[in-house]
């Protein structure tokens, strides 16, 4: 009877996930989705890659459409990753909707199995298992990360099974398939490091060498290295300096790091939004009070350990940016080129397992505790359900408005030349929009392109950078956004057609722009001193289906 009831609740939870992702299927290009690190980058990259003919290109292949053909094929992800093929086989929004569905279903199943098998196996915790798994699966994760964080519960379930001696093929199937739909450097490098630490701890505690557990960790690591062979090749064998060689992260003072620790612990990070602040955090502290009031620290060791680990990961994330690291980063350059702060990507897994344990502690405390545990679990599920992209980003342009295909087709027809014959740059809008529409751009958003190209591009905007320390530091000490920055616009890249902003004192090196092949500027704002910059306004393009007014300037 209990099993049938649990099965019904599982089907209900899957129905909730289907309802959650339904706006993506129903609205299609009229849906509102995340712009930052999504529409402004990855989604356009997948389309450019699919149309470049270089999905399976050689290791030395270039992407001619981006950064004047200087962008390496290896910067746009491996063809062994499923999301690349989703976007190659389906239109953008179908691919996006399918990816969201796959990720959330796997996240739910993984967390449910982990809680049922290893954390809360007793029948009475059915509601906690299903509710926590559902809430976890509806978190607002970074879309192109795929299962990089949300796949961790399923991987942990498989590893803990193997650690206990279980030989089921299901465990190895999980370890084999997850690398095909997740990222090593954006999640699983840190997870596998944690699994290695767990294996070593077992050895030091006298539990034996557990060769099968160790081999399973090595097996999954090897699979990731094979899937990410392009990244491995670029990291180990390419000698040309890249933009990452000028990424300087150690800038914060000690007290800034302390504040960032608490901010991350309480609010989380935008790439792994756990939405734990309002309901999960209070449950933790209530459970912590109960544990100490009832002197149950021995019985609740796992909860206390996860509490401490959770805070430690926030501190690690914050203090990775501490300027005291500078002598080390100067001596060991890989500390700058690889972002070790991302150990905090383990937090979604930890936060929701800790949430389940906290609910159990509160539930057991008294009759009222059971009632409050149920209420808080329901509140968290309702919260994450309504923190939906369609709601959160409702004031941003829709996908159709953002990429404005009809408007940019008009621009293409007006110019009347093959797009490969000239290069464009954008002001006040993301260059990903031009790339998505087939234009060849000098500007780009990518954190892995030749450093020599960054220097060449910098000459175009050097007088603008000289006016503003903010954009100068942003470009010179990171440069992932290789944009036409201006002091008047600052670090803003989305001026919609409702904007009244104008550029009055623009100073570009248009000789350098033309030398690099730049012939046109797509500006979202009018340039009052265009003539001083040797620019001619060709035409203004508007469209009801676009979020932008595009001022087309030609370089004289």
Q: What is the DSSP string of 26-76?
A: HHGGGS---IIIIITTHHHHHHHHHHHT-TT--TT-EETTSGGGTEEGGGG
Q: What is the DSSP string of 103-159?
A: HHHHHHHHHHHHIIIII--SGGGHHHHHHHHHHHHTS-B-GGGTTTTTTHHHHHHHH
Look at the chain and count its residues.
556
Between the CA of residue 302 and those of 288, 349, 358, 359, what are the distances in Å? 12, 14, 10, 13
How many Å apart are CA 140 and CA 271, to the nearest integer?
8
Count Cβ atoms within 10 A of the Cβ of residue 527 and give its class: 0-12 exposed, 13-18 middle, 19 or more buried: buried
- Contacts (Cβ under 8 Å, ≥6 apart) of 57: 73
Closest CA to 105 of 19, 210, 6, 7: 19
Closest CA to 377 of 129, 153, 157: 129
- Contacts (Cβ under 8 Å, ≥6 apart) of 488: 501, 503, 504, 505, 506
Count Cβ atoms within 10 A of the Cβ of residue 331 and give its class: 0-12 exposed, 13-18 middle, 19 or more buried: exposed
6 φ, ψ (degrees, to nearest 5): -65, -40
Q: Using CA atoms in the order 178, 180, 185, 186, what is the torsion angle rounded to 10 degrees?
A: -70
Are 24 and 398 in contact, with CB atoms under 8 Å apart?
no
How many Å apart are CA 398 and CA 390, to the nearest integer?
9
Count Cβ atoms within 10 A of the Cβ of residue 165 and give its class: 0-12 exposed, 13-18 middle, 19 or more buried: exposed
Output the tens digit of pLDDT for each of the chain's 556 residues: 578 888 999 999 999 999 999 999 999 999 999 999 999 999 999 999 999 999 999 999 999 999 999 999 999 989 999 999 999 999 999 999 999 999 999 999 999 999 999 999 999 999 999 999 999 999 999 999 999 999 999 999 999 999 999 999 999 999 999 999 999 988 999 999 999 999 999 999 999 999 999 999 999 999 999 999 998 998 888 878 887 777 776 777 889 989 999 999 999 888 888 999 999 999 999 999 999 988 888 889 999 999 999 999 999 988 888 887 776 666 665 555 566 778 889 999 999 999 999 999 999 987 788 899 999 999 999 999 999 999 999 999 999 999 999 999 999 999 999 999 999 999 999 999 999 999 999 999 998 899 999 999 999 999 999 999 999 999 998 889 999 999 999 999 999 999 999 999 999 999 999 999 999 999 999 999 999 999 999 999 999 999 999 999 999 9
Looking at the DSSP bridge assignments, the partners of residue 426 are: 522
Are 107 and 151 in contact, with CB atoms under 8 Å apart?
yes
Question: What is the radius of gyration, based on Cα positions, of the chain?
Answer: 25
pLDDT score recorded for residue 242: 80
Count Cβ atoms within 10 A of the Cβ of residue 1 and give its class: 0-12 exposed, 13-18 middle, 19 or more buried: exposed
How many Å apart are CA 2 and CA 15, to the nearest integer?
20
pLDDT score recorded for residue 244: 78
Are 70 and 448 in contact, with CB atoms under 8 Å apart?
no
Beta-sheet pairing, 423-427 with 518-523? parallel
Q: Using CA atoms in the order 318, 319, 320, 321, what is the torsion angle rounded to 10 degrees?
A: 80
Q: How far is CA 111 from the centre of its chain?
A: 20
- Contacts (Cβ under 8 Å, ≥6 apart) of 216: 158, 159, 162, 171, 172, 175
How many Å apart are CA 3 and CA 438, to the nearest integer?
54
427 φ, ψ (degrees, to nearest 5): -125, 125
Closest CA to 126 of 327, 377, 495, 350: 377
How many Å apart are CA 362 and CA 288, to the nearest integer?
9
Are 384 and 275 in contact, with CB atoms under 8 Å apart?
yes
Q: Residue 378's CB: how many other CB atoms inside 10 A?
A: 14
State the residue for tokens 């009070």.
289
Q: Residue 341's CB: how many other CB atoms inside 10 A?
A: 18
């Amino acid at each position: 009877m209990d099993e049938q009831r649990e099965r019904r609740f599982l089907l209900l939870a899957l129905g909730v996930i289907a309802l959650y992702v339904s706006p993506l299927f129903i609205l299609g290009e009229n849906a509102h989705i995340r712009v930052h690190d999504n529409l402004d980058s990855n989604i356009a990259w997948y389309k450019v890659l699919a149309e470049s003919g270089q999905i399976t290109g050689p290791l030395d292949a270039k992407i001619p459409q981006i950064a004047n053909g200087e962008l390496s094929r290896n910067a746009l992800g491996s063809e062994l990753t499923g999301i690349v093929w989703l976007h190659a086989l389906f239109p953008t929004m179908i691919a996006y909707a399918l990816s969201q569905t796959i990720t959330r279903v796997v996240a739910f199943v993984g967390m449910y199995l982990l809680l049922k098998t290893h954390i809360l196996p007793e029948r009475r915790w059915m509601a906690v298992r299903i509710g926590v798994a559902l809430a976890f699966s509806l978190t607002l994760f970074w879309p192109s990360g795929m299962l990089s964080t949300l796949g961790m519960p399923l991987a942990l379930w498989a590893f803990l099974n193997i650690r206990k001696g279980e030989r089921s093929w299901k465990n190895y199937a999980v370890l084999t398939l997850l690398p095909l739909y997740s990222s090593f450097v954006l999640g699983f490098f840190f997870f596998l490091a944690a699994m290695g630490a767990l294996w070593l701890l077992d050895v030091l505690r006298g539990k034996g060498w557990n060769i099968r557990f160790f081999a399973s960790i090595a097996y999954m690591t090897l699979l990731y290295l094979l899937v990410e062979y392009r990244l491995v090749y670029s990291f180990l064998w390419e000698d040309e300096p890249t933009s990452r060689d000028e990424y300087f992260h150690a800038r914060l003072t000690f007290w800034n790091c302390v504040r960032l620790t608490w901010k991350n612990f309480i609010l989380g990070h935008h790439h792994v939004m756990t939405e734990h602040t309002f309901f999960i955090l209070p449950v933790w502290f209530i459970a912590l009070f109960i544990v100490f009031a009832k002197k149950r620290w021995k019985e609740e060791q796992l909860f206390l350990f996860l509490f401490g680990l959770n805070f430690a990961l926030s501190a690690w994330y914050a203090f990775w940016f501490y300027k005291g690291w500078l002598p080390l980063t100067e001596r060991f350059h890989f500390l700058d080129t690889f972002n070790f702060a991302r150990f905090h990507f383990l937090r979604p897994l930890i936060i929701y397992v800790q949430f389940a344990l906290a609910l159990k502690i509160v539930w057991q405390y008294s009759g009222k505790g059971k009632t409050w545990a149920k209420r808080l679990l329901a509140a968290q599920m309702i919260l994450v359900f309504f923190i939906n992209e369609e709601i959160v980003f409702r004031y941003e342009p829709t996908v159709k408005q953002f990429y404005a295909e009809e408007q940019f087709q008009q621009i293409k027809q007006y110019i009347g030349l093959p797009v490969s014959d000239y290069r464009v740059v954008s002001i006040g809008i993301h260059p990903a929009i031009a790339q998505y529409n087939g234009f060849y751009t000098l500007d780009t958003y990518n954190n892995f392109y030749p450093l020599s190209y960054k220097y060449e591009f910098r000459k175009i905007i050097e007088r603008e950078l000289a006016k503003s320390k903010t954009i100068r530091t942003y470009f010179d000490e990171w440069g992932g956004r290789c944009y036409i920055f201006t002091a008047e616009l600052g670090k803003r890249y989305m001026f919609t057609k409702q904007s009244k902003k104008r550029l009055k004192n623009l100073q570009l090196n248009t000789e350098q722009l033309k030398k690099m092949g730049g012939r046109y500027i797509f500006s979202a704002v009018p340039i009052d001193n265009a003539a001083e910059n040797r620019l001619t306004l060709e035409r203004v393009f508007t469209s009801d289906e676009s979020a932008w007014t595009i001022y087309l300037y030609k370089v004289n």
